[in-house]
Amino acid sequence: MRHRIAVIGGGPAGLTFARVLHRHDHPVTVFERDPAPDARPPGGTLDLHENLGQRALGKAGLLAEFQALSRPEGQAMRILDTDGTVLRDWKPRPDDRANPEIDRGQLRDLLLGPLDVQWGRKVTEVVPVTRDGVLVNFADGRQETFDLVVGADGAWSRVRPAVSSATPQYTGVTLVETSLDDVDTRHPGLARLIGDGSMAVYGVNRALVAQRNSGGHVKVYAQFRAPLDWHTHLDGLDLADAEAVRSSVPALFDGWAAPVLDLLRRGTAFVRRPLHVLPVSHTWAHVPGVTLLGDAAHLMPPLGVGANLAMVDGAELAESVAGPGDLDEGVRAFEEQMWARAGRWAKITAAGLERLVSPDPAQALALFDEVQPS
C-alpha cells in the first residue's frame, strides 16, 4: 500500500525529502507557503559538506549536477584583524571538494527538478490523530488528511506544536545582513579584500563576515551581541531606511579599518536577523503520523551545518519511509538517528557561536585554526 505523505515546507529539508521519495517512485505532496519559487530573495551561499549535504544529494541522484554548479574555490577563507591586517589566508587545493559552495537559489532549483510543489499553501495547524489520518489545516481554510505529515517548515514551524512545546529562544546575537552586487566591477577594492570565498573580521563581541556568491554577488553579515530590541534604542532606527542603517550600524564597529567598514557603507538593503535556537537536545515523545526535519526539529546557530543537516534528515527519512517496512517503525528509527546527530552538532555550534562572537576575539582565530585543514 502506498502511504499518503505530505511535507510542509520547500526548503532544503523538505525538497530533499521529496526528491529522494520521487527517486523511489513514492508519491509525496509538498506544501509551501511562498506563492512561487522566486517570491523572495533565496538567501546567501551554502557550503555542502562531503559527508552531509553532498551525501544527501547522492541519495537524490544529484551529485554530478551539484559538482557542475558548485564553487570549490568558494571554500577560501581569510581572516583580518580589525585594523585590516591579514591574519589567515587559507585557499583550498584545486582538487578539494570537501565543502564547495552553492547559491541557495541554485540548490533549490536543482532539488525542485520534476517535483510538483503546491505553492502558496500556508499551513496553520496539524492535528495528529483523526480517524482518517493526520489533519492539516491551511490558511485558506482548506483541510487535507495524510498518513504521515512531515514538518520541514523551518524555525517557526507550525507543525512542531503537534509533537513538542519547545519554541526558539534568542541567543543574544543579532545579524544585520546586507549585500553588494557586481563587486568585481563596482567595488574592485572590496572584491580583492574578500578574495574567492569568505572573509571575516572578529572584534570584541562582534564580527563582520563577507561571503561571495556566484555572479559577483556578496552577502555581508554584521554580527553583534545585543538585546533583541537593540534597534529601537537607536533613535527609532528604521531598518527599511537603508541610508539610516548605513550611517548607524558601522558605528557599532567604531575604530575598525575603513575598507572593512565599507562593506557595510556600500550595502544596499539591510535585513535584521536575530539568531534563535531550539534547546540543544530537543527531542519529543513520538507521535504516530507526524515528524519534523531540519530547522523545525533542531534550529541551531548558523555555523555552516544547518542546511547540511536538513538535507541529510530529508534523505534518510525518505529512504526509511520508502522501504517495505512498517511506516511508523521507520519514522521512529529515523527520529532516534536524527536526534543523536543533531544533538552533537547543536553542542558544537552553540560553543562555536560563543567563541566567534566573544569578548576575546582570539577565541575566533583559535577556533579557525582548530577546524581548518592546514
x/- site string to ligand FAD, residues 100 to 139, per CB under 6 A?
Answer: ----------------------xx----------------
Q: Binding-site residue total for ligand FAD (CB under 6 A)? A: 32
CA distance 275 to 249: 17
Work out which of 100, 306, 330, 361 binds ligand FAD, going by CB under 6 A. 306
Within 8 A by CB and 6+ apart from 168, the residues are: 155, 156, 276, 277, 278, 299
Work out which of 58, 105, 274, 304 binds ligand FAD, going by CB under 6 A. 304
Work out which of 103, 144, 196, 295 binds ligand FAD, going by CB under 6 A. 295
Return the number of the residue (175 or 191) whose C-beta is nearest ligand FAD: 175
Amino acid letter at 273? R
Which span (10-18, 88-96, 181-189, 244-252) binds ligand FAD, by CB under 6 A?
10-18
x/- site string to ligand FAD, residues 23 to 62, per CB under 6 A?
Answer: --------xxxx---------x-xx---------------
User: Cell numbers at residue 344, please?
Assistant: 552533537
User: Cell numbers at residue 242, please?
Assistant: 537603508
Looking only at the bridges linking them, the beta strands covering 101-103 and 198-203 are: unpaired
Query: How far, CA to CA in Å, does 210 sit from each of 66, 99, 262?
Result: 23, 17, 11
Cell 538535507 found at: 311
Return the number of the residue (82 or 308) whose C-beta is nearest ligand FAD: 308
Work out which of 6, 30, 208, 310 binds ligand FAD, going by CB under 6 A. 310
Looking only at the bridges linking them, the beta strands covering 5-8 and 29-31 are: parallel
Within 8 A by CB and 6+ apart from 141, the residues are: none
- The footprint of ligand FAD (CB under 6 A) covers 8-14, 31-34, 44, 46-47, 122-123, 152-154, 158, 175, 273, 294-296, 302, 304-308, 310
